[in-house]
Structure 1
Amino acid sequence: MKITIIGGGNMGGAIAVGTAAGGRIAPDGITVTAKTEKTLEKIRCADARIRTTTDNREAVRGADLIVVAVKPWLAEEVIASFRDLLDYRRQAVASVVAGLSFDRLDAMLDNGSGIPPAMFRIIPNTAVSLGESVTFIAARGASEALLAEVVSLFDELGRTFVVEEAMMAAGTSLASCGIAFALKYLDAAIRGGQALGFDEKEARRIVMQTMQGALSLLERNGTMPRTEIDKVTTPGGLTLKGLDAMNEKGFDEAVFAGLDRSR
């Protein structure tokens, strides 16, 4: 498979670098476009084997999968600039554009050929460049074989969940926005550690290792967080006092509100 990523910004660039580091697609089978050479230079610095260009029309020629990774308000204009070149008998299109529905994407891709395109909506998070993303994929008009190929590609970049389109907004909230929510807790804990007397670097190391330990417990034991919480809380104990204080400040409600607002 040859892939062209239209838009080499934070997400498009992360997908390109992560894919190049995997084993399914040769790095020279990946092409990334951007408006400026400055953006493309960042891609080349990350992996010089990736092909780069500012010419979207040239980039889509010969690609099996075109990934649109531009800002939502630019999607229609950008797609219109190359859709006449697309051959939907052999080329599929994926969008990582937030909020861009299949219906709208289908209308944008209409090039008068009368052939419905195979389309994917893909929502990774920024850890995709490290192979540690959570990625949600929804498909329309794609064969089972093509869907399996796209899923296999993103499985190399973390954990992939195939969902109906109706669940894409929830997936965005829980995992794409969610990576910032997780980092928000870590940031608060590190600053809290400084308030307790540790310097910033010490607090960072302590909090990161604590988080890694918590994740390892869940992975190895196959448990839910509440089970592991119960193991370290006793009536009147310090952990329970700390949890009670967090609950009094509305910890759970704040998390629920953030997830709901970001859908």
Structure 2
Amino acid sequence: MKWLILIFGLGLSLHSLAQDNYEIQVYGSDLVEPHHTMVELHSNYTFQGSKQEENGVLPTQHVFHETVEITHGFNDWFETGVYFFNSIGNHGRTAYVGSHLRPRIAVPERLHWPVGLSLSFEFGFQKRSFSEDTWTLEIRPIIDKTLDTWYVSFNPSFEKSLRGRNAGEGFVFSPNLKIDDAICKWMAAGIEYYGSIGPPGDFPPIDEQQHQLFLAFDFFFSPQWELNVGYGWGLTSGTDRDIAKLILGRRF
């Protein structure tokens, strides 16, 4: 199938810091409808990750991450989301981890631009035992396009530590990419890529970067519901190796 060929080709092209494993998602440019609310549960499990504490951060292997995201649409160009991060694991790894706030603006669909375009600003805190940086900022442009049965979304994100171990450093380039094909009326299949490459113009060696590749499926059973499932592989030594994820959302 054509999407399998695409996955194989991208896997060969990557020689192998991705986003935190609390919200593993490539965002589309569309917003929640005005005066509506979307509630999502982001769930994932790390089969193979870090096995010991590193720089004061607890290991990630055999941990469930459960994130509740609530997003409200205010009009056709503005929405705001809030996240509640949680960890479930042994040896002190079951805890409320932190929260982020994410306002987002978008070019309204009524303007009929040739591509979808939006911009989000996500900021908030995580406990020190779960992250080297306790307060962070993410600036995420979102560009997407549907061509026949194909869908492409590119999120060239930039992340900045505001407080913590890396607070003295600049922005880190963390691109995300989604390419899928609607293989039938109720399902699309494709790939999702998550990377954390380093400061623009001063990228570290490839082994010090983070790259993840997911095989992902989106299901369209109802306009009120969304379901995304996937399995991902870390492509460098500094990336969690095997992760299963599920995103379940309901519009109100």
Q: Which has the higher contact order (CA 8 A, sep 6+)?
A: 2
More strand, by proportion: 2
Q: TM-score, normalising length from structure 2?
A: 0.31
Higher percent of residues as helix: 1
Q: Which has the larger radius of gyration?
A: 1
TM-score by length of 1: 0.30
